[in-house]
C-alpha cells in the first residue's frame, strides 16, 4: 500500500528537475527520507535513481527544486558541502587510491597531524576504532590494491563515517558482492541504523530491497510512481510500479 506520510523525514527533496540537453532525467521529483531507517530507492536503469542521489550528495546540481535537512532548507553545491551536512555517498565504482594504505585512504583530505606532519598512528587508530564500532574491520596497513572487493566497500563506508556521515547513500552496493558478502553488508547497515544513522539503498534487486528496507520510493522515467512501506508491499507491486504494467517474476529474480 502507498504511504504518503513518511514519519520524521531527515531529508526532503521537493520538485527536483534535472535535464541533460533535451533529456529530462528528473521531472519534478519529491522524496522524503525517514530518519533512522533504511529507505530503498528503486527503479529500472535510467529511471533517475543515481541522478537524484548525485544531487543530494553534491555530485551534480539540480536545475530546479529544493532540498531540506531536518526541515531546514540547504544548498549542496559540491561533495564537501554534502559531507559538512552529514551526507555521503558510497558509489558503485569505488573512489579509492590503490597505491595508498587503508589508513591513508580513510583520512585523505582530513589527515590527522602531529607537529605539522601526517600522524600515521592516529590514522591507523581511526581505522581500528570505526572498524570495531561498526564491524567493518580492515587492516589499516594494507594497500588498497591488495584488498578484496568486500574490503574496498567496507573502506568506502568507513571513509564516509570518518567524515561524519549521518545519511549514507549506498548506490547498488551489492552489485559487485558475493551473496555472503551481501549478507555481511546488511549486518553492517543494520548496525548503522541501530547507531542512529539513516541509509538510502539504491537497487533494482527486489528481494534485497524487501529484506533490508523499511520504506521504498519507486521511480520510473524520472518521476515518482510509488511510496511504499516495505511491510505492506511485495515484489509484484514494486515491479508493476517500476515498469508501469503487470510483470511475471520468477522466484529469486531481481
Q: Which residues contact 30 (CB under 8 A, 6 or more apart)?
A: 12, 13, 14, 15, 16, 224
**Cβ 37 vs Cβ 193: under 8 Å:** yes
What is the SS3 assignment for 62? coil
The pTM (predicted TM-score) of the whole model is 0.89
CA 17 to CA 26: how far, in whole Å? 5
Who contacts 109 (Cβ-Cβ below 8 Å, separation ≥6)?
Answer: none
| 65-92 pLDDT per residue, tens | 999 999 999 999 999 999 999 999 998 7
pLDDT digits (tens, 9 = 90+) for 2-59: 444 545 899 999 999 999 998 999 999 999 999 999 999 999 999 999 999 999 999 9
Computed over every residue of the chain, the mean pLDDT equals 91
Amino acid at each position: 500500500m502507498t504511504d504518503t506520510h513518511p514519519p520524521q523525514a531527515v531529508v526532503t527533496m521537493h520538485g527536483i528537475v534535472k535535464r541533460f540537453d533535451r533529456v529530462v532525467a528528473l521531472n519534478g521529483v519529491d522524496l522524503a527520507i525517514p530518519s533512522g531507517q533504511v529507505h530503498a530507492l528503486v527503479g529500472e536503469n535510467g529511471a533517475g535513481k543515481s541522478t537524484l542521489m548525485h544531487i543530494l550528495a553534491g555530485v551534480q546540481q539540480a536545475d530546479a527544486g529544493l532540498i531540506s535537512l531536518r526541515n531546514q532548507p540547504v544548498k549542496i553545491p559540491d561533495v564537501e558541502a554534502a559531507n559538512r551536512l552529514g551526507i555521503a555517498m558510497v558509489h558503485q565504482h569505488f573512489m579509492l587510491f590503490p597505491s595508498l594504505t587503508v589508513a591513508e585512504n580513510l583520512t585523505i583530505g582530513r589527515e590527522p597531524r602531529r607537529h605539522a606532519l601526517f600522524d600515521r598512528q592516529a590514522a591507523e587508530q581511526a581505522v581500528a576504532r570505526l572498524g570495531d564500532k561498526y564491524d567493518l574491520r580492515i587492516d589499516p596497513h594494507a594497500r588498497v590494491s591488495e584488498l578484496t572487493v568486500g574490503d574496498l566497500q567496507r573502506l568506502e563506508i568507513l571513509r564516509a563515517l570518518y567524515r561524519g556521515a549521518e545519511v549514507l547513500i549506498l548506490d547498488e552496493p551489492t552489485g559487485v558482492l558475493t551473496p555472503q558478502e551481501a549478507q555481511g553488508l546488511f549486518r553492517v547497515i543494520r548496525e548503522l541504523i541501530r547507531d542512529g544513522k539513516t541509509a538510502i539503498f539504491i537497487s533494482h534487486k527486489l528481494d534485497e530491497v524487501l529484506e533490508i528496507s523499511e520504506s521504498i520510493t519507486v521511480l520510473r522515467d524520472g518521476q515518482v510512481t510509488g511510496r511504499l512501506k516495505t511491510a505492506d508491499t511485495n515484489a509484484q507491486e514494486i515491479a508493476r510500479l517500476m515498469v508501469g504494467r503487470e510483470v511475471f517474476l520468477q522466484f529469486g529474480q531481481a
